[in-house]
Structure 1
Amino acid sequence: MDSPRILIIPGSARDGSLNRRLAAVAAATARAAGLQVTEMDLRALALPVYDGDLEAASGVPAGAHELRQAIATSDGVLIVTPEYNGFPTPLVINAFDWLSRIPPGDGQAGGLAATANKPAALLSASPGPLGALRSMNFLRQYLQMAFAMLVVPQQFALGRANEAFDGEGALKDARAAQSVEKVIAALATLARAMPTPR
């Protein structure tokens, strides 16, 4: 595999989101490293809050199928999430909860099959000093245990993120930029090491 396909998912969609800004830095870093990058807006998937009655009445929403397809056709997934009360955002958890409900059919893998053994990596950003580290650690457990994703050990939490970007959207601190590069490199290395899907 010469150029892994990386799917980047910000865990916040709001205007001015620090994690969207960090995701943009990651995307630019990945492209500079020769990777193919797709960026996904979870809010654009228009997923309602998961409800078993809604699923029974209407099935799994189209947005969840779009997420499944994006993950299935990627070689690695990078999630960049803030912290809501010490936990990953409802936007991320709800999207993956819906994803888990997709059964196989029409020659397509189910949601859990699409994530199984898929390389993943994590970044986070917060105005606080820990940089949303707690949410990353919860998300690591969630993705590994519930979705069988292979989350690389390397991760980076950007603290004081409200002061971390320059006017062009780049990271001011060279060490922070290098930390993002290391996470991207680890994800790319694992993606290259995985068997090519049939």
Structure 2
Amino acid sequence: MATLKLLAISGSARNGSLNGRLLAAAAQAAASRGAQVETIDLRSLALPLYDGDLEKGAGVPEGAKRLRDALQAADGVLLATPEYNGFPTPLLVNSFDWLSRLQADGAAPAGLAVTAGKPLGLVSASPGLLGGLRSLNFTRQYLSMAIAMMPVPQQFALAKANEAFDEAGALKDPKHQAALEAVVGALVRVAAALKSPS
């Protein structure tokens, strides 16, 4: 079978982001299962705040097309979401809002065509006691209902994330690692099953 391809996305653009560190640990776990993991930096897409007038005048920005192409090439998605006042970051939501505006154009599919049924593994990290759980649940609802992705049932919210990693970026607590591995394992299994011919 061809190599499984996963796309890793962090909703945080901050240098040294805890979610970026958790995503890196998840990507390593996926790679250990034989998956090829590519990472896309949402900040590098340079997407303006969604505005219908802007879309009407200038069209959908190239950054949204880059996100579409990366998602189209992936068999599944690993996504880490921070929590800002109980919700995912504007960066994350705005990126997918722009993606949803892409219509089919020649050989290029519509934005939602590449996300429909796409397997998704969700994790979050926060210095707080809930580990970003509120944002995690909102992100699950948003990406499944509005963007038509297919989250696996397993998810992981890492509480006190500022104390959770060693100097090498690995999770100190074996229970945390096991919870992360459960999400990654479920994503790899589902994505591989959907990729395989029936």
TM-score normalised by the chain length of structure 1: 0.96
Residue 143 (str. 1) matches residue 131 (str. 2): no
Q: Which residue is 2:72 aligned to?
A: 72
Cα deviation for residue 32 of structure 1 reads 1.4
Residue 125 of structure 1 corresponds to 125
CA distance in 2, matches of 1:47, 1:23: 22
- After superposition, give the CA deviation of every residue in 1:97-146 in whole Å (9 maximum; x if it has no partner): 00000000121110011100111110000000110001010011111111
Please give the alpha-carbon distance, in whole angstroms, between the structure 1 residues aligned to 2:2 and 2:58.
Answer: 41
Counterpart for residue 173 of structure 1: 173
Query: Which residue identity lines up with residue 128 of structure 1 in the other structure?
Result: G
Q: Deviations over 1:150-188 (max 9, x none)?
A: 110000000000000111111111111111111111001
Q: Indicate how the Cα distance of structure 1 residues 41 and 131 shifts in structure 2: closer, same or farther if over 3 A, else same.
A: same
2:99 counterpart of 1:99: yes
Which letter does structure 2 place at the counterpart of 1:187? L
Contact 1:81 1:89 in 2 (8 A): yes
- The answer to whether the 8 Å contact 1:2/1:192 transfers is no
Cα displacement (A) at 1:3: 2.8
Query: TM-score, normalising length from structure 2?
Result: 0.96
1:88 aligns with 2:108: no
Q: Which amino acid aligns with 2:162?
A: N
CA RMSD across the alignment: 1.2
Residues of 2 paired with 1:170 and 1:196: CA distance? Answer: 32
Deviation at 1:2, TM superposition (A): 4.6
Q: Aligned-pair distance for 1:27?
A: 1.2
Distance 2:147 2:17 in 1: 26
1:60 aligns with 2:60: yes
The structure 1 segments of at least 4 consecutive aligned residues displaced by more than 6 Å after TM superposition are none
1:45 Cα offset (Å): 0.5
Give the aligned length: 197
Deviation per CA, 1:57-84: give whole Å up to 9, x if none.
1110111000001111100011101101
- Quote the sequence identity (%): 59
2:23 matches 1:23: yes
